[in-house]
Amino acid sequence: MQVRIVGVGKVREQYLQEGIREYLARIRPYFRVEVIDVRDEKIPPESTLGGGAAILEREGERLLSAARGSGVIVLLDIAGEPWSSSDLADRIRAWVMEGHSTVSFLIGGPLGVSERVRTGAQHTVSLSRMTFPHQMVRLILLEQIYRAARIHHGDPYHK
């Protein structure tokens, strides 16, 4: 199975880049993983509600375009369904059994995502009820994918 992580903007912090590289290396024996950064929109200091919606639409189109061809699209959102690591492993197992070759996880920018992205996703999942910087979410998600891969393959993992 191929896993795509599609996020708005680039990860700029060095410590996050190092963590992402580490988890990509850990995951590669289990899945093909691709991290795709789509261009973010500049948020004007005095952005209006309508301006924010336009930003979300443009970023959303980029997210959905990068996820095109995925059998499963999962949106990460604080209002989503809470999945445990075991839940994610079970979902991955089911997707493989259903014949899906690619799953894309979508991460919005600081303003969130458009309604079109929400309706385009088959699943909306929350990593936590807490708010995390959108760049940090990539690292947290990669750790959870690694943990789910180990569970899926029957390898020991830290509880």
pLDDT along the chain (159 residues), means of 10: 95 96 96 95 71 90 96 95 94 94 95 95 94 91 95 80
Predicted pLDDT at 49: 52
152 in Cβ contact with 93 (< 8 Å) = yes
Instruction: Give CA separation, 128 vs 41, 44, 72, 82, in Å.
Output: 25, 28, 21, 7
Predicted pLDDT at 84: 93
Predicted pLDDT at 45: 75
41 in Cβ contact with 58 (< 8 Å) = yes
Predicted pLDDT at 142: 97
Task: Find the length of the chain.
Answer: 159
> 3-class DSSP state for residue 49?
helix
Predicted pLDDT at 51: 66
Helix-strand-coil percent breakdown of the chain, rounded to 5?
45, 25, 30
Which ranges of 4-157 would DSSP assign to H, the alpha helix?
14-27, 49-67, 85-97, 115-120, 134-152
Q: Which of 31, 2, 26 is nearest to 157 (CA)?
A: 26
**Whole-prediction pTM:** 0.92
Residue ranges and CATH numbers for the domains of the chain are 71-159 (3.40.1280.10)
Predicted pLDDT at 135: 86
